[in-house]
Structure 1
C-alpha cells in the first residue's frame, strides 16, 4: 500500500509500504544495571507486535519524522495502538544509507538497490526527536567513512541519546540468513474476500478522510484541518464545539488557546478538563457582540481556572462589551477635547486614528465595541 504524508510546508509525498508482519515481542536482557549480573525482563514477552516495513521513499530526517507521525495517527485512530513512544508502545527501526548524487533517481528508474549504498539499521528509537538525530548522525558517519575511502558494513546499531551518536550492536543478517520456511504445525491462512470487505466497512473514519471532510463540511483551510486531525480527541472536540458556530473561530480557539494550556499542563486532548460546550459558548458570545475578541481571552483565563462557564464569568466580572453608542461617544469627545493637536493632525495622517482607538478602549476598560469606536471616531475626526 501507500501512505500519503503531509510535509512541513503543506505539500504531500507518498511512502510505499513493503509489508506488514505480525510477531510476538520477545524478552530482553539488561546489562547496564549491575557490573556483575545481567537481568532478564519478560514483561512484554508474548505481546502482539506489528512491524510495518516501508519502501526507501524517505530522503530526509524531516520526511522520516513526518512519516512516523502519520503512521502513529492512523494507528491511534484505528485503536490499534496508543502511540505512547516513551513506554515503547511505538518504536522505529531506522534504516539509513547514503548514495552519490543522481543514484537515487537511478534506483527509482531501475529498482536496483545497489544504487542506494549499504544500509545500517538503528534499532528501537523511541521519540521523533531521536529519530531525526539518529538519521543525521548516521548519515554523517557513513559519508565520512566513504569520503575517507572506506566501505560501509551492514550492521545493526543503537542510538545513544545522551551522546547523540549511534554505535554498533551486531552485524546485520541478510534476509536469506533468517532461513524462513513454512512451519508444518501452522496451517496456511485462507482469508475470504467477504471477511476482508466486512472489516474495511467497519473501520472508523481515518485521518485523511477526516481532513477532507473537515475542509468541505466546515470550510477549514488544509492547515487547520491537518492540525485538528493530528489527535483524534482534538478533532472530536472541535466538532463538538463547532456545531452551529463559526467553525474557523472555533478552530482558532481549539488549536491555539486550548492546545497551549494543555501543553503547559503536560496534557493531551484526551485529558482536556474544559468542556467543548464552553468553547462553543465563548465563540457565541463573540459572534453576538456580547464580548470582544480581546475580552474573550480574559474570559477564557477565568473559565480555564474553573470559575464557571463563559456566560457566568462575563456576568460575574462585568465583562460585557459596551455597545451603547452614547457612552462610547462621550469617551470619544473627552479624548478629542483633551488632545486637540493630535485630533487636528489625523486629517493629514489617518493612521494616527489607531492612537485614538487605543485611548478609547483604555478609557472603557477594553469593553467598547471596536467597530463602533472606529465608526464614531471617523465621524468625529472627519475621516
Structure 2
C-alpha cells in the first residue's frame, strides 16, 4: 500500500493479510487456527507478533516466537526461565544482562548459576555477599585477589578481614595510603604493629603538619597512655593461634550463645578464673592437710583414752585369788549385794 501526504510525499505501508488474519484469530481466541497461519508470516514480522502476544498477556507464546535476543531475554526474565536467559546472555555477552540474571538467580536460590553470572558481570559486591553467606573461605580468598587486582580495595579488605588475615588487611590499608586507618586497625587487632605504623604515620603527616606528627604517641615510649596495653599484646599472641581456623557452619548451634564480650574482657576473666582456681587449690590442699593431721590427732587421743580406761580398770578391778569361779570384785559392798551375802559374810536369808 502506498499513501501520499499533502506535500505529495509517497509513503509505503506493508499490510500482510496473513498477519491481519493471525491477529484476528488470536483476539477471537481461536489459537489452533492462528498457529496454522503463523508459518505463513515472514520471519522479520515475528517480533511484531511477539509484542502483540505480550500485550495480550500471552508471554509464553511471545517467547517462542520472538527472534530479537534482547527482547527474548526480557521475556525469559519475566517468565523466570533462567536457563533460556543464560543461553542468550552467553550469546550476547552483555555485562548488564549477566548482572540482571545473577540477581534473579540469587533470589531464586540457584546459587551456582548466580556465581557464574556474577563472575561474568564482574559483580564483586554480589560475589562477596554470596561467598560470605555460604562461608566459602576458598571463594573469599580468590575474590580478595580479584578485587585487589581490579582496584576494589573495600571488597578486598572485607574478604581478608572475614578470613582473619589481619596482617594482609593492614598491608592493604598502608598500600591504599590509608595510614591513619591502618594505625587504628593495628591498635584494635595487631597491637604489636602499632609502633611500625605510627612511624609511617609520623613520616607521612610531617609533610603536612609537623607539629601534629610530633604529637602522635608511640605505645612503646608511652605505654601509660594506652589502657591495657600489655593485656592487648598477650591477647594478640593468644588469638593468633586460632585466627586461621574456620569453624564449620554445622557447629553453629554450639557457638550461637557465645558471649559478646571483647577479647580483652575474656582474657581478664580467664586470668581471674585461673587465679581463683589457684587459690581454691591452695585452700583445698590446706584443708586436706588439716583433715589428715586432725585424723592423726583424733586417733592419738582415742589411743590415749583407751589406755587410760584400761589403766583405770586395772586399778579398780581386783580379782579374788581364793575364788574358784574367777569372779571379779569391783568393790566389797557391791560384791556383797551381787553374790547375796551380808556384811558378816554369811548368806542372806
TM-score by length of 2: 0.21
Which of structures 1 and 2 has the bigger CA Rg? 2
The structure with more strand, counted as a fraction of residues: 1
The TM-score normalised by the length of structure 1 is 0.20
